Amino acid sequence: MSTTMRLAGYADKFSVHPGDSIKFYVNCDGPSAFEAEIVQMIHGDTNPRGPGFIEKAVPGAFKGTVAGRKQVIHGGSYGFVNNAKPLNVESFTLQCWIWPTAPKTHERYWKHGAQGLVTKWSGGQGYGLFINEDGCAELRINGEKLATALPLRDHAWHFLAATFDAATGEATLYHEPQVMYALDPVIEPVSRKLTAGIVNAPVPLAFAAYVEALDDGPLAKSSLPAGVVFAGKYNGKLDSPRLCNRALSRYEIETMKQGAQPGLTERRNSGPTGELAECIVGAWEFSEGINTLNVKDCGPYRLDGRLVNCPTRAMTGYNWSGTVFDWTKSPKEYGAIHFHDDDVDDARWEVDFEWQVPADAKSRFYAAKVTTREGDEDYIPFWVVPEIGQEQSKIAVMVPTISYMAYANEHVASNAGGAELFVYRVPIMQQQNMFLAEHREYGGSIYDTHTDGSGICLSSRLRPILSIRPKYDHFLAQAPWQYPADLHLVYWLETMGYEYDVFTDEDVTYEGLARLEHYNVVITGSHPEHNSGTQLDALHNYTQRGGRLMYMGADAWYWVHSYHPGYEDKGRGVITEMRRCESGIRTWRADPGEYYHQGTGELGGMWRFRGRYLHSVAGTGMSSEGFDISSYYSRTPDSNDPRVSWAFEGIGYDENLGNFGLVGGGAAGLELDIVDTLLGSPPHTLTVATSAGRHTEAYLLVMEDFGFNQQGTDGTSHPRVRSDIAYHETPNGGACFAFSSIAFCGSLPWNNCDNNISRLVKNVLDRFAMDGPLPAPPADAVHYRGRADYDAPEDRFRRRS
């Protein structure tokens, strides 16, 4: 399989209103030109058992030939302070705390080489602290190097300091581990006289990198600052960097750990002495502005800096006490920033073309299709979303773009050692998977780990997201997942002739109930797993005020997400954040003390452990997952209840529901939800169909549902490993219908949408789309119920052939 992708792009936004414009950025690496056109996306699945790939031309939309050019992503996070006279020192003391995560790399490592810590050095000029190729602390002054003899221990705090006296030429480097074990050798300071004074390079001061070159070429435009190319991206935490303009004594270095607050007064704590205060150049406090991209200098020159590619903040510092876990309550203990050599926040490419969306454009799934004569192809998805008050339909599809961002550019197929066990087969990877494995600068998903093994908790939409593409089969499902899976639903809506609007999670997060309230029914995507609190508030308010919700998937409302406020100048929803905490299905877990989001200060992890049970949103919640084959449903006695029997008109009681489909061969598969009134399902919920007893040993109970490992938690034996289709009413004539399986939408297109899953969904949608409140339930259905009073249908767990 070719790993080359010569054509890849992204847009400046996910949602665009009719009448507004949308910009597209494309890397065309090789061909001199590419063709671009706007298409409407109908079906993205190439499975021959379904309708196949379907796109539709958009009359009058952008279509033309665009000059090709290579554009690159300068990946890896760092900070910089613009060049200024005080930074161009003759003598100096440079000091900081570090917690390296990959101090020594293999020569085949994608960015093998020295790592910059605090540097004003480039091309053999200047000064700086580094980690060298042997994993040791290193001082560079011009072309001369001074290194310690013993390497830095990974995932441990070390204090580093370096001094240089221009008058004597004496340079000294200190490496002092915070933790010393009984048999550790003492690491003595290293000193040497150097041959020449500092030749100050006209480059920025850098944190977690060094300046490789000043470049006025086109590929350097996407670096920040433009034309300044950084290398030696550091993996690890950095805390409390300091710079003074003379060589300090060891005692003075210790005093400088406290920073640059003014000297002893009646109102303030003691700071540096008058003599020390006179030599301070910069004292950067990373505990300031944690929810920003700013680096604050508390020194006299206020040499504030800027962070690039969104390193992880709100991280425990060298002085973390282990008693405060919310960084907003004690920010001084969170003065560490974790930098990674594969962070990315914005590709910063040049615009290649844009489309002015017509004022009368339909609200639909669209994409910019880009191709070359040589056969290269990419699709850049976006959505035309009506402005509030200008809705085009009574039906709306809520596109789960936060979840798309969470899975963006996932590397699990190629980087997870247990992938084969997970999916019960050899994972079949796509061209995108192979390309991303070689191009870490495109960033990973929130399911991945960084190159240093720490979890990725931030994801950007301002980069090519090669997993949000039609024709893309995910390794878990060996079928469409997320975006292309949601096109199964879109194809069904188009084939059945429904008029509908679309909007995104991002729109609901920023606009709240106002985005929802004018629709009779809101339909979710197949896997709205990742959600913001304001989105959940809006959904709750919508259903409580008579709105109807059709939950078309499973594993929804699971993880806490927030948007980083530091990117509002680039548009809404640029960076989403999630911290994986102490429970839930996790590919990694955050370290103690690092559960709170850096952008909003809110507790991360699962909504369930924030007291917002996922079952309470649409009536069902996550119970199990498995990735071999999908099963089907049988109706329960609840389906005959007059409150819901209308949903099964034209469907026999003994019919197998969804024993077909484009995702695993059935409607009940991949990830499954169940009714559980003790976890938030309303006690008047009706379980109208279930897949109980029909899943394999590959399906396992979610770990948050049991306290210790034991046998019998798989689909062949555990009663909670199933999917429940469920219905419940909400106040003011509203209701929720939950279909409770990620594979469910994959059954809709089967046999040209002529099947019993299609009939069931049509019956529900037709009723939910009606004007006015839904018909009132029978009088005898109205009575008080407790959570534990729920009476499951008799044959709910009985295996049926």
Tell me how many domains the chain contains.
3
Instruction: Give the separation between CA 696 and CA 226, rounded to whole angstroms.
Output: 54
Long-range contacts of 168-171 (CB under 8 A, 24+ apart): 168/193, 169/193, 169/194, 169/195, 169/196, 169/197, 170/194, 170/247, 171/139, 171/141, 171/146
* Residues sharing a CB contact under 8 Å with residue 419, sequence separation 6 or more, in sequence order: 412, 413, 427, 475
DSSP classification of residue 580: -
The pLDDT value given to residue 800: 46
Look up residue 79 and give its two tokens. Answer: 């900070």
Tell me: do 51 and 102 sit in the same domain.
no
- Is residue 455 assigned to a domain? no
- 3-class SS at 71? coil
Residue 193 lies in a domain: yes
> Are 94 and 14 in the same domain?
no
Report if residue 586 sits inside a domain.
no
Residues 6+ apart with CB under 8 A from 358: 18, 19, 60
Looking at 580-731, list the stretches that DSSP marks H as alpha helix, in order from N- to C-terminal side: 615-618
- Alpha helix (H) residue ranges in 211-325: 250-256, 274-277
Residue found under tokens 């061969």: 665
- 580 inside domain: no
Q: Is residue 165 helix, strand or coil?
A: strand
DSSP 361: -
Q: Which residue spans within 433-495 are E strands per DSSP? A: 458-460
**Tokens at 546, concatenated:** 């008579």
pLDDT at 262: 58
For residue range 135-148, list pLDDT tens digits in order.
999 999 999 999 99
Residues 712 and 632 in one domain: yes
**CATH number of the domain to which 233 belongs:** 2.60.120.200
Q: What is the CATH number of the domain that holds 45?
A: 2.60.40.1930
- Tell me if 744 is assigned to some domain: yes
Whole-angstrom distance, CA of residue 159 vs CA of residue 377: 50
* Residues of the chain scoring pLDDT < 50: 1, 796-801
State whether residue 510 is helix, strand or coil. Answer: helix
Question: H or E element: which one contains 31?
Answer: none
Distance CA 303, CA 202 (A): 16
CA distance 280 to 86: 10
Residues 6+ apart with CB under 8 A from 722: 623, 624, 668, 672, 674, 690, 691, 692, 693, 694, 695, 715, 797
Nearest to 528 by CA among 501, 503, 505: 505
**Token digits of residue 387:** 């402005």
- Count CA within 13 A, CB hemisphere, residue 602: 19
CB 9 within 8 A of CB 24: yes
Same domain, 796 and 727: yes
Please indicate, yes or no, whether residues 227 and 291 belong to a single structural domain of this protein. yes
362/393 same-domain check: no
698 and 730 assigned to the same domain: yes
Residue 735 lies in a domain: yes
Assign residue 665 a region (left: φ > 0; alpha: ψ between -120 and 50; beta: otherwise): left
DSSP state of 474: B
Report the pLDDT value the prediction gives residue 2, as an integer from 0 to 100: 54
In the 8-state DSSP scheme, what is residue 363?
A: -
Q: Does residue 415 sit within a domain?
A: no
221 and 311 part of one domain: yes
E strand or H helix at 752: helix 750-753
Q: Taking the CA of residue 332 as centre, how many other CA atoms within 13 Å lie in the half-sphere pointing to its CB?
A: 5
Residues 307, 358 within the same domain: no
Q: Is 131 found in the same domain as 57?
A: no
How far apart, in whole angstroms, are the C-alpha atoms of residue 452 and residue 155? 10
SS3 per-residue string spanning 204-228: CEEECCEEEEECCCHHHCCCCCCCE
> Where in the sequence is the domain holding 792, given as residue range(s)?
389-397+483-552+614-801
Count CB-CB contacts under 10 A for residue 183. Answer: 5
In contact, 339 and 78? CB cutoff 8 Å: yes
- Per the listing, tokens 């929720």 go with 736
Does the residue 418 lie in any domain? no
CB contact at 8 A, 241 and 116: no
Cα–Cα distance for residue pair 344/578, rounded to 1 Å: 16
Identify whether residues 154 and 271 lie together within a single domain: yes
**Contact, 727 vs 688, CB < 8 A?**
yes
Tell me the C-alpha distance between 326 and 601, whole Å.
8
The reply to whether 299 and 361 lie within a common domain is no
Helix/strand/coil for 364: coil
Amino acid 271: pLDDT: 66
